[in-house]
Amino acid sequence: MTSARRRSAGAPALTGAHDVDTDALAAVLNDFAATVTGDFSVDDILSQLGSGVARVLDVDGAGVMTPRAGGGVLRVVFATPGPAEAVERLEESLGEGPCHDAYLSGEPVAVDDLTSTGRWPALERRAGAVGVRAVTAVPMRARGRLWGVLNLYRLDSGPLTAAEQAAATTLANLATSYLVVAADRDAARNAQDELAHRATHDPLTDLPTRWMFFEQVSHAIAGLARRPGHVGVLFLDLDALKEANDTFGHEAGDRLLTTVAERVRGAVRPTDVLARLGGDEFVVLLEDLTTPGAAGTVAQRILDSLRVPYRLAGRAVSTSVSIGIATTDDPAQTADALVSQADSAMYRAKDAGRGRYEVFDAVTHAAERARTTAQERLIADLTHALRAGELVLHYQPIVDLLAAPADRERGVYAVEALVRWRHPTRGVLPAGAFIDAAVGGGLINDLGAWVLAEACRQLTAWDDELGARAPQRVFVNVSTQELTDPRLPGRVADTVRAHGLDPRRLTLEITESGVISHPEVTVSALEQVRALGVQLAIDDFGTGYSSLGRLLEIPATTLKVDQSFTRGLSGNRDAAAVVSAVLLLGHNLRRTVVVEGVENAETLEALHELGCTHVQGYFVSMPQHPDELRVQLVDPPWLAATADPGY
Ligand code: C2E
Ligand code: MG
Ligand code: MG
């Protein structure tokens, strides 16, 4: 007997033979609230429901059944010991009964006397011996699926009163909403693991990426202080990836890369670290070399292993790589220097006729210096360009799918400012061609100040010209170097004020890796910027190596999912899982989630299915000169260009 029944036996209930114990109901609701702040599992919630109901209602037992992983038959998650448990176990083993019917139909099933309905002959025969009579089974439904069934048992044949039914349904609904929360949380966790793995591993070959490799090289070099010897880096470049892509297609190119990764893996020791730096570049870290020459032996073994032909697009082909080697016995050497020495040696191997290895020496070093000179020239030209007014901002719309097309003006949620260089001889250069040089040459603060002022000026100019059709927000990219400059918040405040711009219309785009790598400086700078009313967006979301938890500490209003996820969306389930988890997380935390790099209608369609609301990319609109964009703002063509996707 439950506590509720025992109590009502001593003190007659006010509203009838069976009553809802409202104090117990309040206590159960409190317990639920306390549980969900902890690390609760789906089974925890279901068990809590079962035991809670048994406390609240004047019944002789309660139980909860849930579908098995493979679907079909139900299993018992919770049952009050005694007759209720006995009936549940019978239903579980026989695969029939009121709970199964409630589950299959999605409707509540109530029977007055289980022993005489004639519906479940096998169950009824045995239930007689157990003594259970009345059964009420309440299905638990949410998000279009059934999560389980709540069952209430009585030894007499009294049906549930309306009040009891209402209490049972309330508790079942409450538990179901917590189940949904738990499922969402588990999905977000899986996505977080996936993000962490992707950030440190190449999706194609599953090899560690640049960041992890450099960590390991630094570690190995530092170890030379304790244990003298040599550390080597092999820098491998595939000689014919581009040809393979062009001749046989990208799938064949991918096969080539995975084959090379496997062959190289097989040619080195299991403890040697093999990583992919991107494109057709691989690197190997060799620790504990007895002599520098031993690295050459490993390089030769790799070259030999790659000569064995393999099948590609139905043909037997073999491939070659060019390998550069650099070694050191100096614990003060840096990982950057060692890898870049191996890199320049690799160039020499390529020049010398491919399919071979070269060891770094002074001559390669001179070649490296020549490249530095080219970089210095670029920086000098860029310094001039900044003063001579050769820089210009192009703007790429970020479109709000929910606002368009009914409200065409609001279809443009914001525009992102992207800097371009009208180079006197090389044409219009995209940011990607010179931003790194600006950072390396110490120009980025000046360039950033110009970009910010120009973007604010343009936004107010559009206001004057276009009124309500002017973009409401401008997004401006800020590099990590600018973020770590203590003058940044003051500069932003001055610029916004000078243009009389509402600070909420300005969003600064920062990259997660920038913030994570300098948390102490950047977090306070970001808080100062936020205090002005200026908004923040995390750009290239998902490409850093931070956990979701740490990213959420950044006071950003917008997350911009990186293009690499968008590109993988059609064929790659992991990419879709990450995008949908970020969307879910963003929406729950009231962040605006913008998906970048939308290049075609299929991607837009897939994003729409995932519930994405804000998109950016060539398919929606290219980055454009303000004069061209003005035309679009007056009569937005991207809505027509999407060939009526149906929203
Ligand atoms: P981002 O902020 O992630 O900008 C997106 C880049 O992707 C831009 O390249 C844009 O032209 C390009 N893009 C836009 N839609 C698509 C698409 O559908 N497919 C593909 N494949 N690409 C698309 P861009 O202009 O060369 O800029 C490269 C990066 O340089 C930017 O990445 C941003 O990090 C940086 N950058 C651009 N302008 C500035 C600036 O004014 N200041 C600073 N500090 N960095 C800037
Ligand atoms: Mg950006
Ligand atoms: Mg981006």
Q: Are 310 and 193 in contact (CB under 8 A)?
A: no
The verdict on 336 and 246 lying in the same domain is: yes
Asked whether residue 320 carries a pLDDT value surpassing 60, the answer given is yes
367, part of any domain: no
Cα 47 to the center of its chain, rounded Å:
32
Q: What is the CATH number of the domain that holds 632?
A: 3.20.20.450
Query: Of 585, 646, 634, 629, whose CA–CA distance to 398 is shortest?
Result: 629
DSSP state of 160: P
Q: Are 513 and 471 in contact (CB under 8 A)?
A: no
- Summarised one tens digit per residue, pLDDT across range 414-439 is 999 999 999 999 999 999 999 999 99
Which carries the bigger pLDDT value, residue 40 or residue 559? 559
For the segment 86-101, the average pLDDT, to the nearest whole number, is 92
The verdict on 318 and 390 lying in the same domain is: no
> Does 623 contact ligand 1 (Cβ within 6 A)?
yes
Residue 279's pLDDT is 84
Asked whether residue 636 carries a pLDDT value surpassing 70, the answer given is no
489, part of any domain: yes
15, part of any domain: no
The verdict on 302 and 404 lying in the same domain is: no
| Amino acid letter for position 350 | K
Residue 575's pLDDT is 75
Which amino acid residue places its CA nearest to atom 8 of ligand 1? 418
Residue 189's pLDDT is 80
The verdict on 222 and 141 lying in the same domain is: no
Q: Which tokens hold the place of 422?
A: 């009208």
The verdict on 354 and 378 lying in the same domain is: no
Model pTM? 0.55
The verdict on 546 and 586 lying in the same domain is: yes
The verdict on 548 and 422 lying in the same domain is: yes
Q: Which residues contact 517 (CB under 8 A, 6 or more apart)?
A: 480
Asked whether residue 95 carries a pLDDT value surpassing 80, the answer given is yes
- Helix intervals (H) in 57-203: 83-94, 98-105, 121-130, 162-200
Give the atom of ligand 1 at the shortest distance from the alpha carbon of 509.
2
Please report the sign of the dihedral spanned by the C-alpha atoms of residue 447, residue 453, residue 456, residue 462: negative
The verdict on 183 and 217 lying in the same domain is: no
Final residue belonging to a domain, choices 360, 388, 410: 360
3-state secondary structure of 396: strand
Q: Give, for 458, the enclosing helix (H) or strand (E).
A: helix 444-466
DSSP bridge partners of 139: 149
Q: Which residues contact 26 (CB under 8 A, 6 or more apart)?
A: none
Cα–Cα distance list, 299 to 160, 234, 284 (Å): 79, 7, 10
Q: Which tokens hold the place of 415?
A: 């525009």
For the segment 583-594, the average pLDDT, to the nearest whole number, is 83
Question: Which residue from 393, 420, 429, 435 has its CB within 8 A of the most atoms of ligand 1, so it is best to mutate?
Answer: 435
Q: What is the CATH number of the domain that holds 60?
A: 3.30.450.40
Q: Are 325 and 358 in contact (CB under 8 A)?
A: yes
Count of structural domains within the chain: 3
| Cis amide bond preceding 405, omega within 30 | yes
Asked whether residue 221 carries a pLDDT value surpassing 90, the answer given is yes
198, part of any domain: no
> Does 58 contact ligand 1 (Cβ within 6 A)?
no
pLDDT band at 283 (very low <50, low <70, confident <90, very high): very high
Asked whether residue 100 carries a pLDDT value surpassing 90, the answer given is yes
State the residue range of the domain holding 50.
22-189
Instruction: Lowest mean pLDDT of 13-22, 120-129, 633-642, name the range.
Output: 13-22
Q: Are 584 and 188 in contact (CB under 8 A)?
A: yes
1, part of any domain: no
- Helix intervals (H) in 329-443: 335-351, 362-388, 408-411, 435-440
- Give the HSE-up count for residue 364: Cα atoms under 13 Å, Cβ half-sphere: 22
Residue 10's pLDDT is 33
- Give the HSE-up count for residue 102: Cα atoms under 13 Å, Cβ half-sphere: 25
> Does 555 contact ligand 1 (Cβ within 6 A)?
no
Instruction: Lowest mean pLDDT of 12-21, 40-49, 206-215, name the range.
Output: 12-21
How far is ligand 3, taken at its centre, from the CA of residue 501, in Å?
A: 25
pLDDT band at 297 (very low <50, low <70, confident <90, very high): very high
Give the atom of ligand 1 at the shortest distance from the alpha carbon of 418.
38
> Does 617 contact ligand 1 (Cβ within 6 A)?
yes
The verdict on 336 and 392 lying in the same domain is: no
Q: Which tokens hold the place of 345?
A: 């040696």
Cα–Cα distance list, 3 to 8, 19, 32, 46, 258 (Å): 9, 12, 19, 20, 65
How far is ligand 1, taken at its centre, from the CA of residue 602, in Å?
A: 22
The verdict on 231 and 309 lying in the same domain is: yes
> Does 432 contact ligand 1 (Cβ within 6 A)?
yes
Asked whether residue 471 carries a pLDDT value surpassing 80, the answer given is yes
DSSP state of 115: G
3-state secondary structure of 358: strand
- Summarised one tens digit per residue, pLDDT across range 42-86 is 788 888 888 888 888 889 999 999 988 766 689 998 899 999 999
Q: Are 482 and 521 in contact (CB under 8 A)?
A: no
How far is ligand 2, taken at its centre, from the CA of residue 511, in Å?
A: 8
- Summarised one tens digit per residue, pLDDT across range 182-210 is 888 888 788 878 787 877 888 888 898 88
State the chain's mean pLDDT as an integer: 85
> Does 438 contact ligand 1 (Cβ within 6 A)?
no
The verdict on 613 and 492 lying in the same domain is: yes
Give the atom of ligand 1 at the shortest distance from the alpha carbon of 562.
3
Query: Of 562, 561, 566, 557, whose CA–CA distance to 607 is shortest?
Result: 566
Final residue belonging to a domain, choices 334, 360, 386: 360
Query: Of 453, 459, 454, whose CA–CA distance to 414 is shortest?
Result: 459
Nearest-angstrom CA–CA distance, 441 and 376: 8
Q: How many helices (H) and strands (E) does the chain have?
A: 26, 21
Instruction: Lowest mean pLDDT of 349-358, 456-465, 577-586, name the range.
Output: 577-586
11, part of any domain: no
Nearest-angstrom CA–CA distance, 265 and 206: 12
Q: Are 403 and 411 in contact (CB under 8 A)?
A: yes
Nearest-angstrom CA–CA distance, 132 and 625: 78
Among 31-35, 439-443, 457-461, the range with the most confident prediction by mean pLDDT is 457-461
Query: Of 269, 295, 287, whose CA–CA distance to 216 is shortest?
Result: 287
Question: Which residue from 395, 396, 416, 418 has its CB within 8 A of the most atoms of ligand 1, so it is best to mutate?
Answer: 418
N-terminal to C-terminal alpha carbon distance within the chain: 57
Residue 184's pLDDT is 81
Nearest-angstrom CA–CA distance, 195 and 544: 9
- Summarised one tens digit per residue, pLDDT across range 112-161 is 999 888 899 889 888 888 889 999 999 998 877 888 999 999 998 887 88
Helix axes 626-634, 444-466, angle to 10 degrees: 30
Ligand closest to Cα of 437 equals 1
Name the residue with tokens 């820089």: 391
469 CB neighbour count, 10 Å cutoff: 17
CA-CA-CA-CA dihedral for 78, 113, 115, 107, to nearest 10: -60
7, part of any domain: no
Residue 458's pLDDT is 98
Q: What is the CATH number of the domain that holds 341?
A: 3.30.70.270
Q: Are 273 and 214 in contact (CB under 8 A)?
A: no
- Summarised one tens digit per residue, pLDDT across range 608-632 is 888 899 999 999 999 999 999 998 8
Apex 307 CA angle, 304 and 311, nearest 5? 145
CA-CA-CA-CA dihedral for 208, 209, 214, 220, to nearest 10: 10
> Does 448 contact ligand 1 (Cβ within 6 A)?
yes
Nearest-angstrom CA–CA distance, 323 and 18: 83
DSSP annotation string for 205-257: T--B-HHHHHHHHHHHHHHTTTS-SEEEEEEEEESSHHHHHHHH-HHHHHHHH
Please report the sign of the dihedral spanned by the C-alpha atoms of residue 239, residue 245, residue 246, residue 247: positive
Nearest-angstrom CA–CA distance, 283 and 272: 10
Residue 645's pLDDT is 43
Residue 146 burial (CB < 10 Å; 0-12/13-18/19+)? middle
The verdict on 149 and 63 lying in the same domain is: yes
Which carries the bigger pLDDT value, residue 449 or residue 209? 449
> Does 393 contact ligand 1 (Cβ within 6 A)?
no
> Does 618 contact ligand 1 (Cβ within 6 A)?
yes
Final residue belonging to a domain, choices 189, 223, 246: 189
For the segment 462-491, the average pLDDT, to the nearest whole number, is 93
Q: Are 232 and 339 in contact (CB under 8 A)?
A: no
599 CB neighbour count, 10 Å cutoff: 14
238, part of any domain: yes
DSSP bridge partners of 416: 396, 475
